[in-house]
């Protein structure tokens, strides 16, 4: 990757309505647990600003908690409610804008991924569509209709606050087996009411959230929806087994108001279904006509494994970059999110643009301890 022509696709501007990005790079949402008592301080602003100063087009923040006692599954994850946390987020937005970047919060509820006794508000029960945990056991009551309506409002409130304090878009975390995704997956969702049933019926909770968010933010504020096939407890899980199923899953989400799909995969170069090279983001774009963000091991050939460290020695930070440029150039997807490479190299985008690939670092698990 040293001829400037070959990296051109990554550096083309992107525009969707009022959202104008200087290039196609997105920082993937990555939980940091560096916000004591849920309040992000100046170090969080520094962390994001460093990436923006190094040309990242759009920051998607670490997952931030909507206002619900059982939303978080770890300590020191930032809140997205309460005056103190929101004032700090407003400052972070301002710093990102001053550095010339754009930023969207990823709004999150962990649902049954939270082990009640270990985490904040241990007296509050973990919640999920059917109260089924990651071991497949029913450990709490299924959510009532009233509780579901209340949760929908809380997502909408978070989105309204995002707009109010100056964010450029909002990302709804519908991936990886957390609350929204638990409604999608029949292993978690055994409901017999209107929130359960076939794949399309299981989109209802997400649909209500997206509609409520749209109503809260108005027509021009971009809604990004992150989804995945894989779950925290099952990397091989397939929500949609073929393009037809994927289409039936995504269509209600589009109709509800999604502007951009963020298809979370662990390796962006892997085809999603047999018979085509398209990856999951490529299929999402083809089936819905909406712009798509892809992700997965950009600048790495390490897998995202449970211990986040498949290999360090064999790792090659420039692996698959040609493939990435080809996919961007062909319009298979529009934007590419970069996770771990941006942890180990805050200046990853600058290094790529300047052809300094020899200076790229190798991501290791040690990088996760400081996350600066």
Ligand X SMILES: Cc1cc2nc3c(=O)[nH]c(=O)nc-3n(C[C@H](O)[C@H](O)[C@H](O)COP(=O)(O)O)c2cc1C
Q: Which of 63, 78, 142, 196 binds ligand X (CB under 6 A)?
A: 63
Segment near ligand X (CB under 6 A); pick from 24-32, 111-119, 233-241, 327-335? 24-32
- Please give the size of the binding site for ligand X, defined by CB under 6 A: 24
320 is catalytic: no
Structure tokens, 340? 């771990």
Least Å distance between CB 7 and ligand X?
A: 17
Q: Which residues pair with 106 in a beta bridge?
A: 63, 171
Segment near ligand X (CB under 6 A); pick from 111-119, 194-202, 253-261, 335-343? 335-343
Q: Which of 169, 287, 295, 360 binds ligand X (CB under 6 A)?
A: 295
Q: Which of 89, 40, 91, 38 is nearest to 68 (CA)?
A: 38
**29 is a site residue for ligand X (CB under 6 A):** yes
**Element (H or E) spanning 156, and its range?**
helix 145-164
**177 is a site residue for ligand X (CB under 6 A):** no
Strand ranges for the chain from DSSP E: 14-16, 19-21, 25-27, 58-65, 102-108, 170-173, 223-228, 260-264, 292-295, 335-338
**124 is a site residue for ligand X (CB under 6 A):** no
Q: Which of 308, 310, 319, 350 binds ligand X (CB under 6 A)?
A: 308
Closer residue to ligand X (CB): 109 or 226:
226
What's the CA angle centered on 151, arms 148 and 152, to 5 degrees? 90
CA distances from 71 to 77, 110, 327 (A): 10, 5, 36
Residue nearest to ligand X (CB): 339
Q: At what angle do helices 243-256 and 280-288 cross, to 10 degrees?
A: 60
CA distance 209 to 155: 7
**31 is a site residue for ligand X (CB under 6 A):** yes
Q: Which of 16, 21, 23 is nearest to 348 (CA)?
A: 23
**101 is a site residue for ligand X (CB under 6 A):** no
Least Å distance between CB 27 and ligand X?
A: 9
**304 is a site residue for ligand X (CB under 6 A):** yes
Q: Which residues are catalytic?
A: 178
- Per CB under 6 A, residues contacting ligand X are 28-31, 62-63, 106, 173, 175-176, 226, 264, 295-298, 300, 304, 308, 338-341, 368
């Amino acid at each position: 990757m040293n001829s400037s022509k070959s990296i051109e696709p990554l550096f083309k501007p992107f525009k969707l309505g009022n959202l104008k990005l200087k290039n196609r790079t997105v920082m993937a949402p990555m939980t940091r647990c560096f916000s004591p008592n849920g309040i992000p301080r100046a170090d969080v602003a520094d962390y994001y600003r460093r990436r923006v100063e190094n040309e990242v087009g759009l920051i998607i923040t670490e997952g931030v908690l909507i206002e619900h006692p059982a939303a978080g599954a770890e300590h020191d994850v930032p809140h997205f409610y309460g005056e103190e946390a929101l004032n700090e987020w407003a400052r972070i937005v301002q710093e990102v804008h001053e550095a010339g970047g754009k930023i969207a919060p990823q709004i999150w509820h962990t649902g049954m991924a939270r082990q009640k006794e270990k985490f904040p508000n241990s007296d509050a029960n973990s919640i999920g569509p059917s109260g089924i945990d990651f071991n497949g056991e029913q450990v709490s009551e299924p959510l009532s209709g009233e509780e579901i309506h209340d949760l929908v409002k809380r997502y909408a409130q978070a989105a309204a606050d995002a707009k109010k304090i100056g964010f450029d878009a909002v990302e709804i975390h519908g991936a990886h087996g957390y609350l929204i995704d638990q409604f999608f997956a029949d292993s978690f969702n055994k409901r017999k009411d209107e929130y359960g049933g076939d794949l399309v019926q299981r989109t209802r909770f997400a649909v209500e959230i997206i509609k409520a968010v749209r109503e809260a933010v108005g027509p021009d504020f971009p809604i990004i929806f992150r989804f995945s096939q894989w779950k925290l407890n099952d990397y091989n899980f397939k929500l949609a087994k073929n393009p037809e199923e994927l289409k039936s899953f995504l269509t209600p989400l589009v109709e509800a108001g999604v502007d951009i799909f963020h298809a979370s995969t662990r390796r962006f170069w892997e085809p999603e279904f047999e018979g085509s090279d398209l990856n999951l983001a490529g299929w999402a774009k083809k089936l819905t006509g909406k712009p798509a963000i892809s992700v997965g091991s950009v600048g790495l050939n390490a897998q995202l494994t449970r211990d986040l460290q498949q290999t360090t020695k064999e790792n090659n930070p420039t692996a698959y970059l040609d493939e990435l440029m080809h996919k961007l150039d062909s319009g298979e997807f529009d934007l590419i999110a970069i996770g771990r490479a941006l942890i180990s190299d805050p200046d990853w985008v600058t290094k790529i643009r300047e052809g300094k690939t020899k200076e790229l670092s190798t991501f290791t698990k040690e990088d996760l301890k400081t996350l600066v």
